[in-house]
Amino acid sequence: MITAGIILAGGLSRRMGGGDKSLLALGEQPILAHVVDRLRGQVDVMALNANGDAARFDPFNLPVIADSIDGFAGPLAGVLAGMDWAAGQGISQIITVAADTPFFPEHLVSALKMAAISDGAQLAMATTPDPDRGYNRHPTFGLWDVALREDLRAALNSGMRKVIAWTQPIGCANVSFDGFAFDPFFNVNTPEDLVQAQQYLQGKH
C-alpha cells in the first residue's frame, strides 16, 4: 500500500512572531529540511500543507496544498487537505507530521501503521509517556484513512476544530514512543525553543 506523508505547515506561528517558523535555520538548513529528510525514508510520496504563496517552498520541490476550509481551522483542515490530495492520487491513507518538529522518530510511520492494523482502526496517533497523566497525545502525528474525508469535511464545516474531539468517537489507536533522550515530538514554538532545538541537534551529532 502506498503511503503519503503530509507535512503540516499551516500554523500562524504567533509565538514566533508570525511568518514561517519551519523556514528558520536549525544548524545549516531550515527546520523544514530536517522534517523532510526524516520523513522521506518512511513514506512513498510527500506533500506540504501550507497557505499563502506556495513559491516560498519551491526549494523543497514538493506539492504544496492549501486548506480548503475558509479561515484558520487548525490542523484538521490540513489533514483534510492532505486527504483530498491523496484521494486524487489514488492513495488510501496518509501520515501527517508537523513542520516545526524536526526530531520525530525514524520509525514513526511503521509504528502507526502496525498499531492501526493491530487495532483494526482507521486512525492512529502518536503519544509519549507522562508520569502524571499517563501519556501525552501528539495529534498532528497520525495515520488517517482517506475514506474518512467527507466525515471530516462535514465536521469542520460544522465548526469542529479539536483533533481529539473528532478522532475519539471514530476510534483511534494510540502509539507510545518512549526510550528517547528527549521528547522526540519537541516542537519549535518560540525563540527559546529554537535555541533548545539547536542544543538537541548539537548533542545528536
pLDDT tens-digit readout, 26-77: 999 999 999 999 999 999 999 999 999 999 999 999 999 999 887 778 999 9
Question: How many Å apart are CA 45 and CA 60, to the nearest integer?
Answer: 13
Number of domains in the chain: 1
pLDDT tens-digit readout, 134-189: 789 999 999 999 999 999 999 999 999 999 999 999 999 999 999 999 999 999 99
Q: b vs e for 17-51, b when ≥16 Cβ sit within 10 Å of the residue's Cβ?
A: eeebbbbbebeeebbbbbbbebbeebbebbbbbbb
Q: Please report the sign of the dihedral spanned by the C-alpha atoms of residue 109, residue 56, residue 79, residue 83.
A: negative
Q: CATH number of the domain that 135 lies in?
A: 3.90.550.10
The domain in which residue 116 lies consists of 4-204
Which alpha helices (DSSP H) does the chain contain, by range?
31-40, 75-88, 108-119, 149-157, 163-170, 191-204
Q: Which residues contact 71 (CB under 8 A, 6 or more apart)?
A: none
Quote the pTM value: 0.93
